Chain A
Amino acid sequence: MTAPALDLKRTPLNAAHRRMGGRMVDFGGWDMPVQYPAGTVEEHLRTRTHAGLFDVSHMGEIDVRGVDAISFVNRLVSNDAAKLVDGQAQYSALTTPQGTVIDDLLVYRFAADHLLLVVNAGTTEKDWEWIRSHQSNETLELRNVSAEYCQLALQGPEALKILQPLTDLSLDEVKYYHFREGKVDGVQAIVSRTGYTGEDGFEVYAAAEKGEQLWNKILDAGSFGTDKGVLPCGLAARNTLRLEAGMALYGHEIDDTTTLLEANLGWICKLNKGDFIGREILAKQKEEGVQRRLVGFEVTERGIARDNQDVLIDGRQVGRVTSGSPAPYLKKNIGMAYVPAELAGEGQALQIDVRGRPVSARIVPTPFYKREKNS
């Protein structure tokens, strides 16, 4: 086993990943497990059928406090933070004046004067500088608290059953995109019913030094090591799960060259909430319509589409694959791509240039995978 490169950042679970045989890779400057010994396919399937546990401590957290916390954040993000109630979370985006995306994030409301922004790992520094540069008010307190937190995501149909015995919180009362503060295995934590897999599940935030205790406890509670037990999952399974669920990944489907409307994220663009950065261009784009649109596609012959491959229609390049991969649960090869808006209709035939070989695909609705909701 090799030691992590010194210049890579480590989460509080780094030693646990290595001990458990995680295959470590450089992920945006972080030393992270891409998969564990069970392998990506098994990790993906177990999360769909039982439960998977993910270390997402590399995500960034920015704490915003002050009487103007909501109005401050609402100027920077596209969704309407004023609609949140205490204990609620919201998917949103930090936008540029051009209506493109600095980052996508979750906004947690603890109180009218206290929000927590959870941002992507690779963009934390950029987001922090951007947010701080807009501070105009002495009473507003901004803190980058990323290093203080560990974040574990327990995802899958059995997540609630596994986590409930470890906490006094009544988890079935925590609604989707809501959270509570309480103890998990005696550790003060934020327990949020959110995730990035398309499954029911929880994200648990706690003090960084408690990360390994919680990780081990959840694995034990989920009978890790048995056929139907929880599996620790790496970044590869996290990616295939979110892709099946049709969720955007920053740097792939969205970045500072794509607008929210092009990315089908109009539902987090609250153009009537009052002014926010980029609103004007987004409003104009909404009225005039977008030139290109993000679509989901399914490969219809043998071959796997991969990120950055060209999308062709009748031999002409019309777009590019933003994410392409086998979908382990659906047992199909799928992807997302930008194509001209007039060619973005369901059923549209495409070809993907797979290393020089045109492979047939067609546009299908997203999400590719939708869980059956029985609660």
Chain B
Amino acid sequence: MANVPEDLHYSKDHEWIRVEGNVGVVGITDHAQDALGDVVYVELPKAGDEFAAHESFGSVESVKAVSEIFTPVSGEITEANDSLQDEPEKVNQDPYGAGWMIKIKMKSPGEVDSLLTAAEYEDFTKAESE
């Protein structure tokens, strides 16, 4: 069973966000990394780039496929996890930790309230695979 930490918010695009003040840390879920397989390449934005909620901010690639990744909230990138350039496998090994992708300064922190809770996300992934 995929790991779904309680303290995060989730999107239907299989990203998670951890709120730290007005900054959100974003990555892809354990379920997403498992579905993708071995991650071999991650393309991320630069600090200063701005995105609307649910806009594509980069891509993550396995041997077989490319998946776009979407910001769960709108805001400005403060930092991208550039260590994933050399160690993309961190996304598989530790999707909620060392595999984080971006930090985003949230424009409207209220947006996280419209995201899924851990329980809701678990139900969502179950429904999706049926």
Q: Which residues of A contact B (CB under 8 A)?
A: 2, 23, 34-35, 39-42, 44, 236, 240, 302-304, 306, 325-326, 328, 355
Which of A2, A23, A40 makes the CB contact (< 8 A) with B38? A40
- Do the beta carbons of A35 and B66 come within 8 Å of each other? no
Task: Write the chain A residue with the least CB distance to B64.
Answer: A236
Contact A325 B130 (CB under 8 A): no
B62 close to chain A: CB less than 8 A = yes
Residue from A23, A41, A303 within 8 A of B63 (CB atoms): A41
Of chain A, the residue at the smallest CB distance from B59 is A355
Tell whether B121 is near chain A: CB-to-CB under 8 Å. no
The 6 closest A-B pairs by CB, nearest first: A40-B63, A41-B38, A236-B64, A326-B40, A39-B38, A326-B63
The smallest beta-carbon distance between B65 and chain A, in angstroms, is: 9
User: Complex formed: what's the CA distance from A303 to B42 in Å?
Assistant: 9
Q: Does B37 interact with chain A (Cβ within 8 Å)?
A: yes
- Within 54-96 of B, Cβ neighbours of A (below 8 Å) are at 59, 61-64, 66, 85
Tell me whether A2 and B129 are in contact (CB under 8 A).
Answer: yes
Given A40-B62, A40-B64, A325-B63, check contact A304 B40 (CB 8 Å).
yes
Flag B118-130 by CB within 8 Å of A: 1 or 0 each. Answer: 0000000000011
Q: Chain A residue with minimal CB distance to B63?
A: A40
Chain B positions within 8 Å of A23 at CB level: 37
Of all chain A residues, the one with the shortest Cβ separation from B62 is A40
Q: Report the count of interface residues on B (CB-CB < 8 A).
A: 13
Find residues 18-74 in chain B having any chain A CB closer than 8 Å to their own CB: 37-38, 40-41, 59, 61-64, 66
Complex Cα spacing A34 to B64, Å: 9
> What would be 30 A-B contacts, judged by CB atoms less than 8 Å apart?
A2-B129, A2-B130, A23-B37, A34-B64, A35-B37, A35-B64, A39-B37, A39-B38, A40-B37, A40-B62, A40-B63, A40-B64, A41-B40, A41-B63, A236-B37, A236-B63, A236-B64, A240-B63, A302-B41, A302-B85, A304-B40, A304-B41, A304-B66, A325-B64, A326-B40, A326-B41, A326-B63, A328-B63, A355-B59, A355-B66
Q: Report how far A39 CA is from B66 CA in the complex, Å.
A: 16
CA distance A306 to B63 in the complex (A): 10
* In the complex, residue of chain A having the shortest beta-carbon distance to the beta carbon of B68: A355
User: Nearest Cβ in chain A — how far from B42, in angstroms?
Assistant: 10
User: Which residues of A sit under 8 angstroms from B130, Cβ to Cβ?
Assistant: 2
A306: nearest residue on chain B (CB-CB)? B66
- A303–B59 Cα distance when bound, in Å, is 11
Does B61 lie within 8 Å of A304, measured CB to CB? yes
A42 to B38 CA separation, bound complex (whole angstroms): 9
Enumerate chain A residues within 8 angstroms of B85, measured Cβ to Cβ: 302
Residue of A nearest to B34 (CB): A23
Residues from chain A with Cβ under 8 Å of B37 in the complex: 23, 35, 39-40, 236
Contacts of A325 in B (CB 8 A): 63-64
On chain A, the residues within 8 Å of B64 by CB distance are 34-35, 40, 236, 325
Min CB gap A309→B, angstroms? 11
CB nearest to B41 among chain A residues: A304
A41 to B41, CA, bound (A): 13
B47 to chain A, nearest CB (A): 18
Bound Cα distance from A225 to B40, whole angstroms = 24
Return chain A residues, CB-CB under 8 Å to B40: 41, 304, 326
**A2-B129, A41-B63, A326-B61 given; 6 more Cβ-contact pairs under 8 Å:** A2-B130, A34-B64, A40-B64, A41-B40, A44-B63, A328-B63
Complex Cα spacing A240 to B40, Å: 13
A40 to B64, CA, bound (A): 8
Query: Which of A2, A40, A44, A303 has the most chain B CB atoms inside 10 A of its CB?
Result: A40
B85 to chain A, nearest CB (A): 7
CB contacts (< 8 Å) of A40 on chain B: these are 37-38, 62-64
Nearest to A235 among chain B residues (CB) is B64
Q: How near does chain B come to A163, taking the closest CB pair, in angstroms? A: 27
Most chain A CB neighbours (cut-off 10 Å) among B40, B41, B85: B40
Docked Cα-Cα span, A328 to B85, in Å, equals: 16
Q: How far is the CA of A2 from the CA of B66 in the complex (A)?
A: 24
Chain A hits for B61, CB < 8 A: 304, 326
B97-117 vs A: 1/0 string, CB under 8 Å? 000000000000000000000
Tell me the minimal C-beta distance from A93 to chain B in angstroms: 27
* C-alpha spacing A303/B66, complex, angstroms: 11
User: Smallest Cβ distance from B38 to chain A, in angstroms?
Assistant: 5
